[in-house]
Amino acid sequence: MVGHHDEDEREKISWREIDRRRDRSPYAPKETPQERVRSRRSEWVMKKYRKEADKLFMGKKGTKKHQKAHNDIDRYHGTDQFEATVKAYLDQYGLPDDWSTLSLLLDYSDPEKVLQALAAMKDLYETRSPIEKQGFKAKVDILAMTASDSDLRDFAEEMLKTL
């Protein structure tokens, strides 16, 4: 039993000695392995927490269901399911926040919703790339000329002057 105790003691000393040597090394990490694990874990927890908090702030838009409905707009754009898909999305979640989905909404049949999409895009316009701006202008131009709804036509015309 006594011999066993000596081995434990020797092991402790050697590890302590190894740590001491490592601490003297200029390449030694400045934190212990436990601290490193702890900070990595807290980083992970914070990321997870932030993601959950974002979902909370986003409300329904933070869900997988929303993600699918959102992706469907893109998927069904140009097909006969587009109208129903957009309507379902808008009823459930309101206007999308991102530029690319908003720009798809410009092809939607409800002039009031198209008007809302245009207004939302105008707020994002300055942050877009030259190519996106060009595409947007062209789209607004087409709406100004072809929209059957006079309010939408007028709005698009007015908007063109400011772009």
Are both 77 and 54 inside the same structural domain? no
Structural domain of 6: 2-59
**Co-location of 48 and 92 in the same domain:** no
Q: Which residue has the higher pLDDT, 25 or 102?
A: 102
Domain boundary among 38, 59, 80: 59
pLDDT band at 94 (very low <50, low <70, confident <90, very high): very high
Global pTM?
0.63
Same domain, 13 and 48: yes
Residues 134 and 82 placed together within one structural domain of the fold: yes
> Can you give the pLDDT at residue 12?
57
Domain count for the chain: 2
46, 118: one domain: no
Same domain, 109 and 85: yes
Helices in 25-162 by DSSP H: which ranges?
33-58, 64-76, 82-93, 99-105, 111-124, 130-146, 150-162
